[in-house]
Amino acid sequence: MKKKPLLVINASGRVTRSVTRRLTKHFSEGWLARHPDATIVDRDVGTHPPSAITESFIAAAFTPAAARTPEMHLELAQSEAMIHELFDAEAIVMGVPMYNFGMPAQLKAYFDQIIRVGRTFNFTGDAEHPYQPLIPAKPLVLVTSNGTGGYAPGEPYEHLNFLEPHLEALLHFVGLSNITLVRVNFEEHKGEDFERSVAEAQEQLDGILGGGAVSMAEPLNAVAA
């Protein structure tokens, strides 16, 4: 049986100087070294941003599939392609820099495209548990970066970290709850602290690969690299 692909999602607006891209590449290369028959699917939302949500998109998304016009199907084509990648992946690695304490706008557009009723979640009718995730559980490695450090729980800027909690909420909502977080600090300062943080992140990624993708840690097992 053909092995399912590793889905690599990059959200950085930088290309050559992005530390999150550097680390997702490190992980995907390690994945291929351990699974020579595997394939990689690249979804680069940083340089190819998904379309913003429009009234026509909303109308198409909330129309039953059998009743959609050809124009509606075309409106949802990008969304369907990205959703298919999530369902089809064996595992996912996502690289996300912190921009102004949150996620890049391109990545928010991605989530707006893939969080759809009837496709990645359903309403249950249960007031206590109103939502049902639809994407099958699979390991997801979340690589984040920030400029100064201090955003982890209990640290001085924890209250400004709108990146990781937001991502956790969105990923859990659609069923991707097996998250291992690898965080790189001091990106803007560079220097020894930054290089040490990157090296520790690479070691953590190697450890994840060595342990096998199906044996990742519990949701959002944060590693302060």
Domains defined for the chain, CATH in brackets = 6-55+85-224 (3.40.50.360)
Per-residue pLDDT reduced to its tens digit, 150-173 = 999 999 999 999 999 999 999 999
Average pLDDT over every residue of 132-144: 98
Contact criterion met (CB below 8 Å) for 164 and 144: yes
State yes or no: pLDDT of 223 exceeds 50. Answer: no
C-beta neighbour count of 196 within 10 angstroms: 13
Mention every residue, 6+ apart, whose C-beta is less than 8 A from residue 96: 11, 12, 20, 103, 104, 107, 142, 143, 144, 145, 163, 167
pTM over 0.95: no
Per-residue pLDDT reduced to its tens digit, 180-200 = 999 999 888 788 999 999 999
**Residue 84, SS3 per DSSP:** helix
Read off the pLDDT band of 224 (50, 70, 90). Answer: very low
State yes or no: pLDDT of 110 exceeds 50. Answer: yes
Mention every residue, 6+ apart, whose C-beta is less than 8 A from residue 129: none
Check residue 191 and give its pLDDT: 86
State yes or no: pLDDT of 74 exceeds 70. Answer: yes
As a whole number, the mean pLDDT across the chain is: 93
User: What angle is formed at CA 76 by the lines to CA 75 and CA 80, rounded to 5 degrees?
Assistant: 155
State yes or no: pLDDT of 219 exceeds 60. Answer: no
Check residue 79 and give its pLDDT: 99
Residue with tokens 């729980």: 153
Average pLDDT over every residue of 24-32: 98
**Residue 90 exposed, middle or buried by CB count within 10 Å (0-12, 13-18, 19+):** middle
Contact criterion met (CB below 8 Å) for 185 and 225: yes
CA 57, CA 69: separation in Å to the nearest integer? 12
CA 70, CA 155: separation in Å to the nearest integer? 52
